[in-house]
Amino acid sequence: MIELTGSDLTIEQIVAVARSREPVASLREDVRQRMQHSHDWVERSISQSGKIIYGVNTGFGSLATKIISASQARQLSRNLILGCISGVGRALAQDVVRAMMVIRANMLVKGHSGVRPRVAQTLIDLLNAGVTPVVPEKGSLGASGDLAPLAHIAVVMTRDLEEGDGGYSGMAYYQGELLEGAEAMRRAGIERLVLGAKEGLALSNGTDFMAACGALAVYDAENLLRHSQAAAALSLEALLGLSAALDPALHAANNQPGQQRIAANLRLLTAGSHLIDSLPSKVQDAYSLRCIPQVLGPVLDTLAFLRQRFAAAVNAATDNPLIFETGSPDGDLRSISGGNFHGQGPAMWLDFLGIAMAEVADIAERCIFRLLTPELSHGLPAMLVPSSGLDGGLMMAQYTAAALVSDNKTLAHPDSVDSIPSCANQEDHVSMGANAARHALEILENVRHVVAIEFQAAAQALDLRAAGGMGPPGQGTSRVHAAVRRHVTYLEHDRELAPDTSRLAELILSGELIKDVFEMVALG
């Protein structure tokens, strides 16, 4: 059971809620009290003191000069949600939507958004009941928050002020069935909310799509990097690599922690190998083998930085305006209108993640190519199949890897350097972080499949080495090879390769493929 406090939600907890349906606890009483205190101040401010507060009793964006009466504040909240239902494209994966929901609930419980406890509790109720709104993947500029994606969530849980069916409710999944949002809520026994003042803005304004994608992407990238090290170690063995390039003194001299960690892991995985250093005439390896620590090490360092940033982002208040204590003895509050919704940080971080992980696929594909090419592989048959010519072996698998690597080169073009003004030039600089988020997730999927193909090729090569009478690989790489062979059999003659690649990619995503190797080596 995960408890939301607004300050200590972890990336692992987000993954647990998003993918494993870990339940979220009902709000604590102290959390309810601080949320209610903030909401009461909002209501008093517009109904008694006549304060003008952006987004509470004004229009939005370039319409901020339009004053809205206190009696229309609730309608303003609902109108904002309906007006932001503008997303297009395929539906986001349900784990991304659920991650957005738990991050938004966690932000609301901080008490800076001026909403009733019931708003956050309703999000929690949706998560626990398994109601997952359908959210189109495109339509956010990543500034003014992820308005469209968040609105597609909010519309399911809210309703019109008038009596009747409650108005438009979007679409949602419930118990595996796609339903109108109102029907999903009805079956789950959750009442749709009539929003109060500010609550529409609090549900739609923020960086939650970017933060959700970032949290899931960091988690998946770390897992993928662990697997890429195991695959690289198999390739190093199969290509009869040299251990000199893994010498700890060499890596200490470069003074880069990630590089040193990767080299140490490769030494542990290949310890006891009869294949490493088995060619006396070999002076040095090609870069794709010799420089594995220098390539994967910076990726490890990058992910460590990104984990820090997204761990902070999922506990941030990114609504606007935000409400704070004044510090006065009477406990009065004040609102501050600013720009925490601007996603420039997440946009740059997601671009950085995509660029870093694209390099994981780059070097993996070069190892695959080398394994399949007799002039480069030190005695392995062409295309890693005994009857080359009659059989094409893994030729087409390398084509696929090359296509995915090339795709990543386009996807890794940084979105964060772009900006298109919007909202009558009031919002004249935007982050395009939502595009960076989509592209980062797509890059990860591509890399996962390239690494899966490297596992296929390197395991096949090790079998061919064994058939040629060469000694066994190291203790760690032997276990990695055995793990691959539990799921994908040796390729004696041509067969369909796609199922093998997909199976390995799914096992990489779940972390199950080389789980037992983690017990032996802490694959950074």
Compute how many other C-beta atoms are within 10 angstroms of the C-beta atom of residue 512.
12
How confident is the model at residue 63, as a pLDDT?
Answer: 79
**Per-residue confidence band for 396, with pLDDT thresholds at 50, 70 and 90:** very high
Which residue type is seen at 199? E
**Percent of residues, the chain, with pLDDT higher than 70:** 99
Task: Give the angle subtended at the CA of 113 by the CAs of 111 and 114, to the nearest 5°.
Answer: 85
Point out the domain boundary residue: 153, 176, 206: 206
* Same-domain check for residues 159 and 240: no
CB-based contacts of 28: which residues, under 8 Å, 6+ apart?
3, 5
* Residue 1 covered by a domain: no
* Residue 4 covered by a domain: no
Which residue type is seen at 508? I
Point out the domain boundary residue: 183, 206, 229: 206
Compute how many other C-beta atoms are within 10 angstroms of the C-beta atom of residue 304.
15
Which stretches of 314-426 are DSSP H helices?
344-372, 374-377, 395-411
Q: From residue 217, how far is each of 11, 295, 434 by CA, in Å?
A: 10, 19, 13
The CA distance from 214 to 399, in Å, is: 30
What is the average per-residue pLDDT within 17-37? Answer: 97
What are the helix and strand counts (H, E) for the chain? 20, 7
Q: Which residue has the tokens 């549900």?
A: 203
* Residue 254 covered by a domain: yes
The CA distance from 196 to 516, in Å, is: 52
How confident is the model at residue 125, as a pLDDT?
Answer: 98
Task: Give the angle subtended at the CA of 379 by the CAs of 376 and 382, to the nearest 5°.
Answer: 70
Q: Reply yes or no on whether the pLDDT at 149 is more than 90.
A: yes
How confident is the model at residue 430, as a pLDDT?
Answer: 86
Point out the domain boundary residue: 160, 179, 206: 206
* Residue 324 covered by a domain: no
The CA distance from 64 to 427, in Å, is: 12
Which residue would you say has higher pLDDT here, 330 or 261? 261
* Same-domain check for residues 112 and 238: no
Report the chain's C-alpha Rg in angstroms.
27
The CA distance from 480 to 252, in Å, is: 27
CB-based contacts of 275: which residues, under 8 Å, 6+ apart?
237, 238, 240, 465, 470, 471, 472, 473
Is 452 within 8 Å of 508 (Cβ atoms)? yes
- For residue 163, what are the domain limits? 11-206
Q: Reply yes or no on whether the pLDDT at 429 is more than 80.
A: yes
Q: Which of 54, 168, 399, 490 is catalytic?
A: 54
The CA distance from 451 to 63, in Å, is: 50
Is 325 within 8 Å of 317 (Cβ atoms)? no
Q: How many domains does the chain have?
A: 2
**What DSSP state is assigned to residue 384?**
G
CATH of the domain at 489: 1.20.200.10
* Same-domain check for residues 180 and 250: no
The CA distance from 499 to 275, in Å, is: 30
Q: Reply yes or no on whether the pLDDT at 427 is more than 90.
A: no
CATH of the domain at 18: 1.10.275.10
Q: Which residue has the tokens 């009733």?
A: 116
What is the average per-residue pLDDT within 107-136? Answer: 97
Nearest to 451 by CA among 230, 218, 270: 230
Answer whether the bond into residue 321 is a cis peptide, omega within 30°: yes
* Residue 523 covered by a domain: no
* Same-domain check for residues 199 and 269: no
What is the average per-residue pLDDT within 235-241? Answer: 98
How confident is the model at residue 56, as a pLDDT?
Answer: 83
How confident is the model at residue 326, as a pLDDT?
Answer: 86
**What are the pLDDT digits (tens) for 433-442?**
999 999 999 9
* Same-domain check for residues 155 and 216: no
* Same-domain check for residues 263 and 186: no
Q: Is 490 a catalytic residue?
A: no
* Same-domain check for residues 187 and 262: no
* Same-domain check for residues 393 and 502: yes
* Residue 330 covered by a domain: no
Q: Reply yes or no on whether the pLDDT at 476 is more than 70.
A: yes
DSSP string of 178-237?
Answer: EEEHHHHHHHHT-PPBPP-TTHHHHHH-SSHHHHHHHHHHHHHHHHHHHHHHHHHHHHHH
**What DSSP state is assigned to residue 336?**
E
Q: Reply yes or no on whether the pLDDT at 18 is more than 90.
A: yes
Element (H, E) at 171: strand 171-174
How confident is the model at residue 523, as a pLDDT?
Answer: 67
* Residue 503 covered by a domain: yes
Tell me the three state secondary structure of residue 341.
coil
Q: What HEC string does 240-280 produce? A: CCCHHHHCHHHHHHHCCHHHHHHHHHHHHHHCCCCCCCCCC
Nearest to 216 by CA among 448, 404, 16: 16
* Same-domain check for residues 17 and 124: yes
How confident is the model at residue 65, as a pLDDT?
Answer: 79
The CA distance from 329 to 473, in Å, is: 71
* Same-domain check for residues 500 and 376: yes
The CA distance from 473 to 471, in Å, is: 7
* Same-domain check for residues 375 and 428: yes
Q: Reply yes or no on whether the pLDDT at 390 is more than 80.
A: yes
* Same-domain check for residues 113 and 155: yes
**What are the pLDDT digits (tens) for 261-319?**
999 999 999 999 999 999 999 999 999 999 999 999 999 999 999 999 999 999 999 99
**What DSSP state is assigned to residue 323?**
E
The CA distance from 206 to 147, in Å, is: 7
Is 504 within 8 Å of 513 (Cβ atoms)? yes
Q: Reply yes or no on whether the pLDDT at 329 is more than 90.
A: no
DSSP string of 269-301?
Answer: HHTT-SSTT--TT-----HHHHTHHHHHHHHHH
What is the average per-residue pLDDT within 138-150? Answer: 91
How confident is the model at residue 202, as a pLDDT?
Answer: 94
Element (H, E) at 444: helix 433-467
How confident is the model at residue 93, as a pLDDT?
Answer: 98
Element (H, E) at 90: strand 88-91
